[in-house]
Amino acid sequence: MQNTPKEWSLIQMIRYRVQRQNEHTVVPLGDDAFVFKNFPGYSVICQDMMVEDIHFKLDYASAFDLGHKALSVNLSDIAAMGAQPHFAQVSLALPEKINESWLDDFYKGMSTLGDEYQCEVVGGDLSATQDKLVIDVSMHGSVEKPLTRKGVQSGDLLLSSGPLGLSHTGLLALTKKKDGYEEAKKKHLRPLPRLDLVSGLQERHNKVHALMDCSDGLINDALQLCPHPLGLHIFAENLPIHADTSKMSLDLGIPVEEFALWGGEDFELLLAISPDDYDIFPGWHLVGQYTESPGVFLTHADGKKEITEFKGWRHF
């Protein structure tokens, strides 16, 4: 299909906003394809899509927010592999309500975050759509020693890199138009990938049994790490809960652990290690343990309760 003058104008605007100098670039953004010199190690590729009214609403998420978040969710997947990001490609399906100013702000949000992690937008596609905005981002990175979801053993501890349930707290605050909850709103709209932890994880790569990012809620994601027939105990008193989440729990009358167990989109890292190695991962929060006995349990000081009803995000 032939490009229209307006489309060429948008492409020029995007190129001005995102293009950077990179010694690995051979053929830059603007040709039929982007060409780059390979990085050392293995190549890592991931992709995530965000759809209006499924993953976000334009009445509370700005263009800058969405540019930031669309890149961040991919950067989080890169971090979960113990890798480093390099290049992103961004495809957008744009309804008529999206104007050029909105699009410029979107790429501002994306390139501002990308510059923090030396990740450059190098291509993609633009299309019109009848109704909803669709954002599709793919990313290229590299890694010498991939860290994967496979490798959990009976007795392994489950650690979280940060608070759980904070993003869901922010979503509730935004959709219910509640004042305050600024940290929670920021966590939901502009999450930060835990790439700051990658070098430390790589230094101890032989101690990492399994690693993934927490995007669908603690229980759902922790079970992704859990091979059959192992079980999982979550330690209720250990769950890292932010003050905003505690406040929302009281405000809505919902048990605070519900936020951490099922909230989703925290984009913290979940790490499985041997109990013998717990001391070499300071700053991580102990949230559970894998066991030989099957079943999923929420453990309190006075006992445990089996979890049989599974909640949280489901696409289908």
- pLDDT of 250-307, one tens digit each? 999 999 999 999 999 999 999 999 999 999 999 999 999 999 999 999 999 889 999 9
Average pLDDT over residues 83-106: 97
Q: What is the pLDDT of residue 5?
A: 55
pLDDT at 314 over 70: no
Which domain CATH number covers 268?
A: 3.90.650.10
pLDDT band at 316 (very low <50, low <70, confident <90, very high): low
Q: Under a CB-based contact definition with an 8 Å cutoff, are residues 159 and 284 in contact?
A: yes
Q: In terms of domains, do 302 and 165 share one? A: yes
pLDDT band at 170 (very low <50, low <70, confident <90, very high): very high
Q: In terms of domains, do 126 and 161 share one? A: no
Domain extent at residue 76: 5-143
Number of compact structural domains in the chain: 2
**C-alpha dist (Å) from residue 280 to 52, 131, 286, 310:** 42, 51, 13, 33
- Answer yes or no: is 217 within a domain: yes
pLDDT at 310 over 90: no
Last residue of a domain, one of 111, 143, 175: 143
Last residue of a domain, one of 143, 169, 193: 143
Average pLDDT over residues 142-162: 98
Q: In terms of domains, do 162 and 257 share one? A: yes
Q: What is the pLDDT of residue 60?
A: 98
> Which of 17-21, 133-137, 182-186 bottoms out in mean pLDDT, i.e. has the lowest?
17-21
Phi first, then psi: give them for residue 148, nearest 5 degrees: -120, 180
Q: Under a CB-based contact definition with an 8 Å cutoff, are residues 273 and 159 in contact?
A: yes
Q: What is the pLDDT of residue 2?
A: 47
**C-alpha dist (Å) from residue 167 to 79, 116, 244:** 18, 21, 10
pLDDT in tens, 52-72: 999 999 999 999 999 999 999
Scan for tokens 């978040």, then name that residue: 69
pLDDT in tens, 14-48: 888 998 989 999 999 989 999 999 999 999 999 99
- Answer yes or no: is 313 within a domain: no
Secondary structure (H, E, C), the chain: CCCCHHHHHHHHHHHHHHCCCCCCEEECECECCCEECCCCCEEEEEEEEEEECCCECCCCCCHHHHHHHHHHHHHHHHHHCCCEEEEEEEEEEECCCCCHHHHHHHHHHHHHHHHHCCCEEEEEEEEECCCCCEEEEEEEEEECCCCCCCCCCCCCEEEECCCCCHHHHHHHHHHCCCCCCHHHHHHHHCCCCCHHHHHHHHHCHHHCCEEEEECCCHHHHHHHCCCCCCEEEEEHHHCCCCHHHHHHHHHHCCCHHHHHHHCCCCCEEEEEECHHHHHHCCCCEEEEEEECCCCEEEEECCEEEECCCCCCCCCC
Q: What is the pLDDT of residue 10?
A: 85
Q: In terms of domains, do 123 and 176 share one? A: no
Last residue of a domain, one of 143, 172, 202: 143
Calculate the average pLDDT of the chain. 95
pLDDT in tens, 208-264: 999 999 999 999 999 999 998 999 999 999 999 999 999 999 999 999 999 999 999
- Answer yes or no: is 61 within a domain: yes
Q: In terms of domains, do 218 and 254 share one? A: yes
Q: In terms of domains, do 93 and 169 share one? A: no
Phi first, then psi: give them for residue 214, nearest 5 degrees: -95, 100
Q: What is the pLDDT of residue 313?
A: 66
Which domain CATH number covers 61?
A: 3.30.1330.10
Q: In terms of domains, do 199 and 64 share one? A: no
CA within 13 Å, CB half, 80: 25
Which among 157, 286, 185 is positioned nearest to 245, based on CA atoms?
185
- Residues comprising the chain, all counted: 316
Q: What is the pLDDT of residue 4?
A: 56
**Distance (Å, whole) CA 109 – CA 86:** 17
